[in-house]
Structures are given as C-alpha cells and as structure tokens.
Amino acid sequence: MLQFLIVLAILAVVVIVVTGPLRSASRSPSTDAAGGPEVDDNPDIADLEAAREAKYREIRDAELDHSTGKLSDADFEAVDKTLRAEAVEILHALDRAREKH
C-alpha cells in the first residue's frame, strides 16, 4: 500500500511538472520555461554570432601561429587580411540580420 501511494505521489508530481508549460501558456502566452538568458531569438543571427566567434578564434590562432613562427610575416599578413575581410563580411551580415529582425 505504501509503495502504491509513493508511486501515485510521484505520478502526480511528474504530471504537474511535465505539463507545467501547457498551463503557463494558457495564462501568459510567451514564456520560456527554461528561463534561459536573453539571446537573439533569430536562428540566422545566432548562426552568424557563432560564425563571428569562430572567425575571431581563427584570427587569434593566426596571430599565435605567427608569434610561434609557423607563419612568416608575409604569410601572416596575407592570412590576417583574408580573415579580417571574412570577419567584416560576417559582421556586416550580422548587422543586416539584426536590422531585418
């Protein structure tokens, strides 16, 4: 009997927890049940931000490669120029996506 009651109690908790968002939605429409941090809700922006971070990492990697002698000055200049141009493209795309959004 005790086990049966325990199971019933667990079942009740499970139903309340799992269906919570459905009840919240009926009271206040736009709720993020996960309570996450504020982020841009547009996937294109999120993709571009991730691409931006990756490009910054690449620029840093190139600088580190240059400072540790893996890239000559001429090669570094060429690579850095290319990477910065790519980064600027991403930043422009990000600006456009934010304006659109």
Partner 1 sequence: MALTGRALLILGLAVAVFGACASLYGVRTGRREWVDCGRRSVYTLAALMTLAFVILESAFLRSDFSFNVVAGHSSTTTPTFYKMTAPWSSQEGSLLLWVWLLSLWSSLVLFLTRGKVREIVPYATAILLGFGTFFLSLTVFYANPFATTSNPPAEGAGLDPLLLHPSMMIHPPMLYSGYTLLTIPFAFAVGALITGRLGSEWIAVVRRFALAAWLFLGIGILLGARWSYTELGWGGYWAWDPVENAALMPWLCITAFIHSIMIQEKRGMLKVWNASLVLGSATLAIIGTFLVRSGVLDSIHAFGASTLGVPFVLLIAVMICASIGLIVWRRPQLRSESQLDSLLSREAVFLFQNVVLVAMVFVVFWVTFFPLISEAVTGTKVSVGPPAFRPFIVPLALVLVLLSGIGPIIAWRRVTVANLRRNFTIPVLVGLTTLVVLIVAGGGTSSRPLALIMFGLGAFVITTVAQEIWRGVSARRAMTHDPVPIALVQLIRRNRRRYGGYIVHAGLAVLLIGVAASSSFQHSSDVTLAPGQHAVVNGYTIRYVRPLASATPQKISFGAVLDVSKGGKHVTTLTTTRGFYPAQDPTLGIIGRFFNGSADSNVGLRAGITKDIWTVINPDLSPLQSLITKGDRLFAADESQIMSRAAKVSTQQTQQSLNALFAQRDLAISGLTARFVSHPWSVNFLLIVSPLVTWIWLGALIIAFGGLIALWPVPAFARRRAVARAGAGRRSSPAVAARETA
Does position 17 bind partner 1 by CB under 8 A?
Answer: yes
93 scored as a contact of partner 1 (CB under 8 A): no
The yes or no reply on residue 47 touching partner 1 (CB under 8 A) is yes
22 scored as a contact of partner 1 (CB under 8 A)? yes
Residue with tokens 């199971």: 7
Kind plus residue range of the DSSP H or E element containing 42: none
Spatial distance between the Cα atoms of 30 and 84, rounded to a whole number of angstroms: 39
Q: How far apart are CA 81 and CA 75, in angstroms?
A: 10
**What are the structure tokens assigned to 25, written together?**
């939605």
Where along the sequence are the contacts to partner 1 (CB under 8 A)? 3-4, 6-7, 10-11, 14, 17-22, 24-25, 30-39, 41, 43, 46-51, 53-65, 67-72, 75, 79-80, 82-84, 87-88, 91
